[in-house]
Amino acid sequence: MPYARAPYYVLGVIAVIVAGFWPSYWSVLGTSRWQFHLHGAVSSTWVLMVLAQSWTAHHGQLPLHRATGRASLFLFPLLIGGLTGIIDVTAKNYVIGDAAENPIT
């Protein structure tokens, strides 16, 4: 395989994602709105599928690799729907002047 260490790089990317979204999402998980949960769950699932694809390709499980890739296509509408919901909530909070204080709720 040309990228034998790819799964480890994806794990590094996951660590960066968790660290980057810690203040705005992961640390306030219980107070986040459903739009953020939808987008967070779908995005997390997609990144885990990238990890699964890199691992399965490296271990010669190409049918599972391809199936994971095809399944990820079904996540795209949910990803866009969650993102649209986040933009709507954030815009409404901005209009009422709450965005600077708490962009999540």
CA angle (73, 16, 46) in 5-degree steps: 10
DSSP string across 6-60? HHHHHHHHHHHHHHHHTTTTGGGGGG--HHHHHHHHHHHHHHHHHHHHHHHHHTT
Q: pLDDT digit string (tens) for 23-62? A: 988 888 888 888 888 888 999 999 999 999 999 988 889 9
Answering whether pTM is above 0.85, one says no
Report the candidate in 38, 8, 40 with the shortest Cα–Cα distance to residue 22: 40
- The alpha carbon dihedral of 19, 47, 87, 26 has a sign of negative
The residue-averaged pLDDT of 74-99 equals 85
